[in-house]
Structure 1
Amino acid sequence: METVALAVEEVMGQKSALSNFYAPWNARPFIFRLPTEILEDIFIQCASDYHCEHNDGSPTSDAPSWVNVSYVCHHWRHVALNCATIWTYVFITSSRWTEELLARSRQASLKIRISLPDDTIPQLENTQAVEKVMDHLERIQELCVDVSEPYDKQVLPKLSSRAPRLQTLQITLDDPSLEWPSSLFAGVPPALHTLDLSFCSVRLSSFKLNALTTLSLHDVPDRFRQNIEEFLAVMSYMKDLEHLYLDHALTSATGFLSSAVFRTFEKIDSPHLSHLLIGAPLSTTVALLSCVNIPSKTAVKLECHSEPDCPFHNYAVLCSLFTQRCSMTKDHALSSSTILSLDIVIFEGLTAATLTFSPSERNFNDELDEAWDSNIPLRINVDLSENDGDRIISNICCSMSLSNVRSLRVIQPPFSPGFWRRMLGHLRDIRYIELYGANMPDLSVLSLADLTTDEGARNQDGLAAADRGQSHILAPNLEELMLEWITFLPEGDSDLPEPAITRHSLLDALSTRQGPHGRLTMTRCAIGNSDPFDSGMVWGDGGIHVVYDSENNEE
């Protein structure tokens, strides 16, 4: 035993000597001479970034990368262990580690994310860790929870405790029938800044909403959905609201729109609103837009659900709201000069369409489900019927002042010449048109003299009396027409469903245009059932000239 003790003493002595040897060297690099306050700020930023970008709340057996700062050297470890804020970004791990994190954070406010979906096998370690975290609800500042039935007993009952520091609450439940406590936060709702509820059967009256800056309600169970009048009463108290997301959260507003209350309703001011999403029946969308003053800077996304028995199913009222907003004074209106691109995506069978209005030229985005920001001031998803899709889309577009739009893209464009005549007459400064997929629509209107008008009264045919007899070429500034995966009607054949035209018809229309030179590009296009071809041409000077044509092997 004496020999072992001597050996241990010798090893410890060598370690001490080695540490003394490296200490002066470690003190030389600048990174080891940073003040403690700066090191703390760096460590906190590392933990915060991981929490926001990488921590999905799932249980983990490995500590996140930011914990490694406590293992670099004695000095860094001393700084890390004495900075309580670093350890407030709690991650779900073993019960022992969870206790250690809570102890190191001392009494600082906690940021918690918990994600336990229904395919997670319930484990004692996970259950104990979640319980330990939720026992500190009084210290939690940010709580983001995504749980299923096996874990709801560790989370929902704990919400009956006091939570005086809680500012952000985000809860997603896989089962909307899960039972909530009868009294949230001991009957004293915290002054939340952010409230995000998905599939939650809890009433808004359970929370204090005066300080809210973000309210997000998704897929609220039917019996807990508010009617529009109740919601507007609640919204009138949210003076600081910046983000409002309502998706399947409100009931139909057909009764409210026909009531005396609606006719005398005093609009609610939301001066700080920057993002508004409404996914609701068309009547509810109309009611919200009619009853709330929306700032011009607000990015708006509408997902309108048709109501066959509703008098507003034809979108006429919605269009009139856009007209009113665009005709207001410059300080309050959505200026037409901010819209330079229009992107129309038609879904198969003309069942629905997405219209995106952008302030940047050729700003087309195929990821329609991703989050949108102020770079997209307006996006509208609408239900369509096969018979009036053309009219609904053109009515929405033509209800807005789009005289500065330069770029237009249409995906799956099955539209008639009448649609194009109206749209191109409205988009007067269009320079670029891109068509993708489906059959080639009849764009012979590009070569026809058409009667259009400036702003003013129109007769039943849509023409102003002052413009009668004046010829104008539609899209006079058109510089480029891009076609991709477009199918033309075969010459002398009508097997393809209308509307569709032949390639020769399109080339004839472009070659006879009176206007500036332009370029036609066809990529992976086809004639009937033939193989795809690529082709490039230019028009102008009363003709059209081939640049390249893979179908005819021409260069």
Structure 2
Amino acid sequence: MGSGVIEHCDTTRAHVDKDIAALAESLRGYRSRRISLSYISWLPLEILTTIFTYIVEEDTFKSHTGTPRPNGAPISMIITHVCRHWRQVALECPTLWASLNCVSADCLDMMLERSKKIALVVIYRSPGSLRKCFQQILSQLPRIKFLQLCSYPWDVNRILDCLSSQPAPLLQSFKFSVAGKSNYRVMGSISDAVFQGRAPLLRSVELMECTFSWTSCIFSGLRTLDVRRIGSASYPTLSQLLSTLRRMPELEQLTLGLSSRISEDTELSDRVPLTQLKSIALDACTLRNAVSLFSCLAFPVDVKIALNLAPIGSCLSDLFSAMHKDPDGSGPIIRSMRASLSYHTFGVQFGTSTAFKSKYSWDPHNDDILLSIQFKCSSSTRKPPIIFDMCQMVPHCQIQSLFVTSSLVLRENFWRVGSTDLPELENIQLSGTCNMRSLIAVLQSGGTQSSDMAYPSLHALEFENIDFGCGEAEELQDIAIMRAGHGVGIHELRLVKCRNLVDDRVQFLKEVVTDVDWDGHEEGLVGGSGSGGGCLCHICRDESSGEDYMQALLHSDYDYDPDSDAYSED
């Protein structure tokens, strides 16, 4: 190919590239004009700013609640890349740049500059993202109002040095956790040196896997204190703990992890008054520690209590006496109980409403739940009826609704004890992988008078995720007929994701129960197309495998001895 041809090709290519660039620029201009004609671009600047602020605050809120968005550029930076108009609005709003939510070291200088002198919200929930920039961040300590840090153990002392280098006059909330076990060498303690002893607005402190000086006055006047997984070097004595709480008369939320036994080095004189307390949670706590602490505190009768205990023992009554020092006084009426029973953990909750608004969790945010107790199961606490013992100890207990979720085989004794201890029970909800055979057997029993029947006030049943055994739907129908004849009929029946049910069986139930709510779920039917065919209910499975039903009970994870009621602390 001749040199002239090559030169002509190069020239032509250059002209084409120039035309393409011109078209791209023209297209960019048209896109910009089109965006400027969109409805949102005609919004007043203050409304657009409010929308941007809401987006940034929502992202920050998700980080507070433990559901941060995937790592990436800050939300405020993403906004600036939409169009020129949005970029200009965002750059003129310092509050959009004041949330340092796991911001990388590369973006940090830009965020600090654009936020100007606005108070900062700093959130670093992973030690990796914090390690390269904590000195740069904590140099801004005087303008931080919310500070959440997670550190590697080997960085703790350097971070504490930075936290102690300046006062924190705007700081309102401080959260600090250490990833993994905190026994790496010797870590410094959070004491009066932090924030140079000057954090006058500080109202909330949450510490995890940290050493903590209980004699420090820096955290006086708090409204929220959460100290969990305390290092052995900073485990408090009872007098130290009470002295700390006495300096917090406005305390509203208290959460403590007290896994090791508190040294009771003090005589009980005046109880520590916490008149503003709204909730107290003891996590990974021994029962004796809970009794010791509650015996020394005075708080309102409607305080929400959440306890995550080691295996409970003989002083269960002592715990309730310590929590409810005046059981005959005024207080909220307990109308519902929820039990979650698994092979290793029992959980019991008491609420003031006849319904629970949320799924079971140890530390609920449900305002209706006043008491939540979760405990590990030792060999002597694997008896589900223990949850009914608690009903006799909780003051103002008039339980009308019982919610049971269980993966254990519940024996008839469980439901008989419940019938005796809960005479006003109106509603039973049963869910989980357990079966309903024992409940049906108890409901079938009784004399000729309504007062002799099990659960004489019962009028509503709900079954969720339950295997109906062969003939159990028919037995349930017979129970409804029998109870109706005694004037204690079942008026409501709810069936959700129950297996081995068909429409014909449910239609029979509708003939004797006024309100039957069935979701139409059909699984594990007789003659089904499963791998082996036939019924998949618990009775047929046991028979087909040759396993005796009593043998299944004996292998369930609680003691089968029906005469033993002894509880002992592990």
Give the structure-1-normalised TM-score: 0.71
On the 8 A contact 1:446/1:474 being kept in 2, the answer is yes
- Name the structure 2 match of 1:50: 59
Match of 2:366 in 1: 373
Question: In structure 2, what is the equivalent of residue 346 of structure 1?
Answer: 341
Cross-structure match for 2:390? 396
Determine the structure 2 residue equivalent to 1:208: 218
What runs of 5+ residues in structure 2 fail to find an aligned partner? 1-17, 513-517, 528-533, 536-570
Work out whether residues 113 and 145 of structure 1, in 8 Å CA contact, stay in contact via their aligned partners in 2.
yes
For 2:468 and 2:50, the matched residues in 1 are separated by 62
SS in 1 for 2:294: helix
CA contact (8 A) 1:437 1:484 kept: no
Aligned to 2:235: 225
Say which of 430, 433, 447 aligns to 1:437.
433
2:73 matches 1:68 = no
Moved more, 203-212 or 225-234: 203-212
Matches within 5 A, 1:50-449: 50-53=59-62, 62-74=72-84, 76-117=86-127, 120=128, 127-149=131-153, 151-152=155-156, 155-162=159-166, 163-174=168-179, 175-178=181-184, 179-180=187-188, 184-185=193-194, 187-191=196-200, 192-206=202-216, 208-248=218-258, 251-252=261-262, 255=264, 261-262=267-268, 264-271=269-276, 273-279=277-283, 280-306=285-311, 313-321=314-322, 327-329=328-330, 333-336=331-334, 339=335, 341-348=336-343, 351-363=344-356, 366-368=359-361, 371-388=364-381, 389-390=383-384, 392-400=386-394, 401-412=396-407, 414=409, 417-435=412-430, 436-438=432-434, 440-441=437-438, 444-449=441-446
Over 3 Å counting, the alpha-carbon distance change for 1:36 and 1:539 in structure 2 is closer
Aligned residues: 483
- C-alpha spacing 1:523/1:61, structure 2 compared with 1 (3 Å): closer
Change (3 A) 1:471 1:115: closer
> For the Cα contact (< 8 Å) 1:346–1:410, is it kept in 2?
yes
Consecutive unaligned residues in structure 1, runs of 5 or more: 1-7, 451-468, 492-501, 527-531, 542-546
User: 1:167-196 deviations in whole A, cap 9, x for unaligned?
Assistant: 211111023135226863364142321111
**SS state at 1:403 partner:** strand
How far 1:232 moved relative to its partner?
1.9
Q: Does the C-alpha gap of structure 1 residues 87 and 446 become closer, same or farther in structure 2, counting only changes over 3 Å?
A: same
CA distance in 2, matches of 1:426, 1:300: 23
What residue in structure 2 maps to residue 477 of structure 1?
457
Residues in 2 aligned to 1:323 and 1:539: alpha-carbon distance in whole angstroms: 45
Compared CA separation, residues 471 and 136, structure 1 to 2 (3 A): closer
Letter paired with 1:335: I
Q: Aligned partners of 1:93 and 1:382: how far apart in 2? A: 40
Given residue 430 of structure 1, which amino acid in structure 2 is its aligned partner? L
Secondary structure of the structure 2 residue equivalent to 1:409: strand
What is aligned with 2:563?
Answer: none
Secondary structure of 2:133's match? helix
Contact 1:403 1:426 in 2 (8 A): no
Give the match for residue 549 of structure 2.
none
d(CA) in 2 for partners of 1:93 and 1:267?
42
| Contact 1:215 1:244 survives alignment (8 Å) | yes
User: Is the Cα contact below 8 Å between 1:58 and 1:116 reproduced in 2?
Assistant: no
- Out of 479, 489, 506, which is 1:517 matched to? 489
Taking structure 1 as reference, are residues 328 and 370 closer, same or farther at Cα in structure 2, changes over 3 Å only? closer
Q: Partners of 1:21 and 1:446 in 2: how far apart?
A: 72
Whether the 8 Å contact between 2:98 and 2:121 is mirrored in structure 1 is yes
Distance 1:402 1:59 in 2: 43
Change (3 A) 1:443 1:296: farther
Structure 1's 381 and 442: CA in aligned 2 closer, same or farther, altered over 3 A? same
SS in 1 for 2:391: helix
Cα distance change, pair 241–408 in 1 and its aligned pair in 2 (3 A) = same
After TM superposition, give the deviation of residue 54 of structure 1 in Å.
5.0
What per-residue deviation string (whole Å, max 9, x for no partner) do you get for residues 280-334 of structure 1?
11122223333333334433211122376xxxx34011233566565322xxx12
Cα distance in 1 for partners of 2:278, 2:379 equals: 34
CA distance in 1, matches of 2:325, 2:67: 45
Aligned residues: CA RMSD: 4.7
Percent same amino acid at aligned positions?
20
